[in-house]
């Protein structure tokens, strides 16, 4: 295969990116002493999840080159020990590049580039033998498309979406679902060990990982909907929702979703950020598309999809999906305990999606 990137690889990294080279040289040495093969990791997608994950890699002695579009984030990334660049070509020498992006289109642009502007993506830019580790929640069709593009260019492609929120990412408590060629997954295992508490290998087809993630998110959304309805019933009948939640999670419903998100619903703590409504809606639409293609009815998931649309229509686009409990309370005629529990309408879904893209 001809080397189409020789001229790009000779381009120097901007001065703003080289400020941490001296301080990271010891990280290189320690990596070599441990026998680790992958010394430089690229990272694309520095939202709340991505920045926590990239920081954990640095804190574990890894050398991370991070692509970011917004110049005002460079100082923050340098302070965390990352080497930021606003040009994706500076990641082309990395042996593994991780993406943590919001949707199919964002990942597609990173892989294929923007031909109209003459900008190459990972498919043309990475060296043969490099691996694209896609940790985004995307459709199975997109995963298959992206894997094929990388195979044509002599790259590995591993899909490894995660279960967990930004707090879990900071605490290295993610659950990682990995699919791809066995040898490529083995090269990525040290990264999984840094980022998560447990990883599951689900076979050689990357699309399988994404299907499992979509199924899990569909179950999560349905869980939050029923939690919201049950706790609204408790409040309306004069029960202590916190006590009810303690009973439920202490008996038959002790899963992490019940405990973490149920606590937010019971205390009416509906914060901005996290897994916001438009992202949850995107995942449920993908899950329902998979179900329709397989002729599998999922009526409960269809209901929650409509609830998320209702929440966005009410101006809750910036709220974490635990605010499905807020919708359930409103439907029951209950008022929030404070103004913070029901923020004023602020954004629309398109604006939020644009914001997510700008975090790259």
Residues labelled catalytic: 213
Pairwise CA distance, residues 88 & 122, whole Å: 8
CA gap 17, 85 in Å, rounded: 6
Using DSSP, state whether 162 is helix, strand or coil: strand
According to DSSP, the β-strands at 162-163 and 174-178 are: antiparallel
Longest CA span, the chain: 72
- Other CB atoms closer than 10 Å to residue 144's CB: what's the count? 16
What's the order of all strands across the beta sheet hosting 83-85?
A: 83-85, 63-67, 40-44, 96-99, 131-134, 156-159
Closest CA to 147 of 162, 158, 137, 160: 158
The helix or strand, by DSSP H or E, that contains position 227, with its residue range, turns out to be helix 206-236
Site of tokens 């707090």: 167
């Amino acid at each position: 295969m001809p080397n189409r990137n020789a001229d790009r690889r000779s381009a120097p990294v901007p001065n703003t990116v080289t400020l941490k080279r001296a301080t990271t040289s010891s990280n290189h040495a320690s990596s070599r002493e441990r026998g680790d093969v992958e010394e430089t990791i690229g990272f694309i997608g520095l939202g709340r999840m991505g920045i926590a994950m990239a920081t954990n890699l640095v804190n574990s002695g890894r050398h991370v080159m991070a692509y970011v579009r917004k110049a005002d984030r460079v100082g923050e990334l340098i302070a965390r020990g990352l080497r930021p660049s606003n040009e994706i070509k500076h990641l082309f020498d990395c042996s593994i590049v991780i993406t943590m992006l919001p949707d199919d289109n964002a990942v597609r642009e990173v892989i294929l580039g923007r031909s109209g502007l003459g900008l190459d993506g990972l498919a043309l830019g990475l060296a043969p033998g490099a691996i694209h580790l896609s940790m985004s929640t995307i459709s199975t069709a997109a995963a298959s498309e992206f894997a094929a593009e990388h195979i044509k260019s002599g790259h590995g492609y591993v899909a490894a979406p995660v279960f967990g929120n930004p707090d879990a990412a900071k605490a290295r408590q993610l659950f990682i679902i990995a699919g791809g060629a066995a040898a490529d997954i083995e090269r990525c295992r040290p990264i999984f060990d840094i980022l998560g508490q447990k990883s599951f290998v689900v076979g050689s087809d990357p699309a399988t990982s994404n299907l499992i993630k979509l199924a899990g998110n569909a179950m999560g959304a349905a869980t939050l909907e029923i939690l919201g309805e049950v706790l609204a019933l408790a409040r309306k009948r004069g029960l202590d929702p916190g006590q009810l939640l303690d009973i439920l999670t202490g008996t038959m419903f002790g899963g992490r979703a019940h405990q973490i998100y149920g606590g937010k619903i019971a205390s009416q703590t509906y914060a901005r950020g996290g897994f916001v409504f438009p992202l949850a809606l995107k995942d449920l639409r993908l899950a329902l598309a998979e179900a329709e293609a397989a002729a599998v009815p999922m009526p409960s998931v269809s209901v929650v999809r409509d609830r998320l649309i209702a929440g966005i229509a009410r101006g809750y686009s910036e709220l974490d999906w635990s605010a499905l409990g807020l919708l359930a309370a409103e439907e029951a005629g209950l008022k929030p305990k404070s103004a913070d529990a029901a923020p004023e309408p602020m954004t629309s879904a398109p604006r939020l999606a644009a914001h997510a893209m700008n975090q790259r």
